[in-house]
A and B are shown apart, each in its own frame.
Chain A
Amino acid sequence: MVVTVLYYLLTAYVAGMLIWNFLKRKKWQEEALYIIILIPFLLRLLRLK
């Protein structure tokens, strides 16, 4: 259970970093890339997939 919680915290951290990078990008292609990568992390945090 402790390991599972840590993994959810890690997932949230990575999701936060992806959002941060999305905000810092200048090219729309890179912004779209970060958003697409972010989706599975959000779905896991929301316990949908």
Chain B
Amino acid sequence: MKPVSLRKISIAALGAVLAVFAGLSFYRSRHLGEPVVAGPGVARVARLREYFPAIRGTVNDLNVYVLEGKEPGGSVLVLGGTHPEEPAGRLAAWILVENAVLEKGRLFIILSANRSATTVTRLGGAYPPDFTIPTAWGGQKFRMGDRWSNPLDQWPDPEVYIHYPTRQQLAYMDIRNLNRAFPGRPNGTLTEKTCFAICELIRREKVDLEIDLHEAELQYPVISTIVAHQKGADLAAMVSMMLSSNEGFAIGVESSPPALRGLSHREVGDHTDAISLLLEAPEPFLDATRGRTNRELLLTGKDEFIVRAGRRGLLFEKIDDKGWPIDVRVGRHSSAILQILETWSEDQPAKAIVARGIPKYAEVIKNGIGAYLKDPKATDPAKVVIE
């Protein structure tokens, strides 16, 4: 064999080794099973295909956890994982599924509203593929996820994304952004079908409130706030006041802009009878001026470069050496959900939604998220669901 051929074979073999290692890493990340322990309040686990059959067989045929009270009341839908790279939303919803018990009304929870987006991380972003929340029984690993649906499930992107039905022109990649594709359409892309299916759930189950859980970078002006459709402006204002005075953290209110289309707080409110609210917590991991993009930054929210940006007045939320730990971010969502339900129930006693077992902000910070995650190995397998 000629030396040149040996060289080509050696280089090709090296490339094959790299491809195998990279491929294994991506495969494991995409197929990492996340066990959920259906808590004492979960009456049943439905699938999204029950509301829109065309979603059957896709990665986004989501689990819908249904918690029902002994007494009738209103209905609320909580969405976690609309943007899976904002993990406080998924984790707050996770705590609800594993701990909440309904006294009145019904609570629908989706942990991975865009499950496809949980199976990929940001291309070129060097994100960690997963992260682990420490628990007394060892720890639970979660997929990191991205803002957009996995290109393996929806590809290619167009030059310009034209939103349905308004025909507003949006950034090309946002055709895979669940929070730019509402209200969705039955014959659209996977992301649009998922949005349509979620809206069908809201319509068929006569959901009164829809709460979408998010996080935002500190350089983004819509942060530490409740974004409310005009139908929910009074509710959001009261919740903001109650949280800011009673819970020890400040949260503002923003009106859902009528001119910006595709977002849940706009389209769910416009296309269903539900009041739509979107909660934002601070997540330094997403800031463009961050340092190393690793698990530590994701969980502690500590970054010296973002602190420096704050000193120069470039941020819309404060940050210091304590950072924004994941327990704080999840605790904010948890208390906000509790306060929304309480305020709603006071205003609408005939449609009250009363829940117990949901930890408040101070409790989540004191005990850590891990205290509210159940050990799937110590649970009846019939109660364990894989996300």
Hey, which bits of chain A sit against chain B, CB under 8 A? 3-4, 7, 22-23, 26, 28, 31-32, 35-36, 38-39, 42-43, 46-49
Q: Which residues of A contact B26 (CB under 8 A)?
A: 43, 48-49
Q: Which residues of B contact A23 (CB under 8 A)?
A: 8
Q: How far is the CA of A26 from the CA of B12 in the complex (A)?
A: 14
Secondary structure call for the B interface: helix
Distance in Å: Cβ of B308 to nearest Cβ of chain A: 34
Contact B156–A3 (Cβ < 8 Å):
yes
Q: How far is the CA of A38 from the CA of B8 in the complex (A)?
A: 14
Instruction: State which of A22, A28, A32, A43 has its C-beta within 8 Å of the C-beta of B22.
Output: A43
Q: Which residues of A contact B27 (CB under 8 A)?
A: 48
Q: Which residues of B contact A46 (CB under 8 A)?
A: 23
Nearest B residue to A42 via CB reads B19
Tell me how many residues of B have a C-beta within 8 Å of chain A: 18
Q: Which residues of B contact A42 (CB under 8 A)?
A: 19
Q: Which of A23, A26, A39, A48 has the most CB of B within 10 A?
A: A48
Distance in Å: Cβ of B169 to nearest Cβ of chain A: 19
Q: Which residues of A contact B171 (CB under 8 A)?
A: none
Nearest B residue to A26 via CB reads B4
Contact B156–A31 (Cβ < 8 Å):
no
Nearest A residue to B5 via CB reads A23
The list of the 10 closest CB pairs from A to B, nearest first, reads A35-B15, A48-B23, A49-B26, A48-B26, A39-B19, A31-B11, A7-B156, A32-B11, A47-B152, A35-B11
The verdict on A31 contacting B22 (CB below 8 Å), with A4-B155, A36-B15 known, is no
Contact B7–A49 (Cβ < 8 Å):
no
Q: Which residues of A contact B12 (CB under 8 A)?
A: 22, 35
The verdict on A39 contacting B22 (CB below 8 Å), with A3-B156, A7-B156, A47-B152 known, is yes
Contacts A43-B23, A47-B152, A48-B30 aside, 11 further interface pairs with beta carbons under 8 A come to A22-B8, A22-B12, A28-B7, A31-B8, A31-B11, A35-B15, A39-B19, A43-B19, A48-B22, A49-B26, A49-B120
**CB-contacts of B1-37 with A (<8 A):** 4, 7-8, 11-12, 14-15, 18-19, 22-23, 26-27, 30
Interface residues as binary, B137-159 with A (CB distance below 8 Å gives 1, 0 otherwise): 00000000000000010011000
Q: How far is the CA of A36 from the CA of B26 in the complex (A)?
A: 17
Q: Which residues of B contact A4 (CB under 8 A)?
A: 155-156
**CB-contacts of B115-136 with A (<8 A):** 120
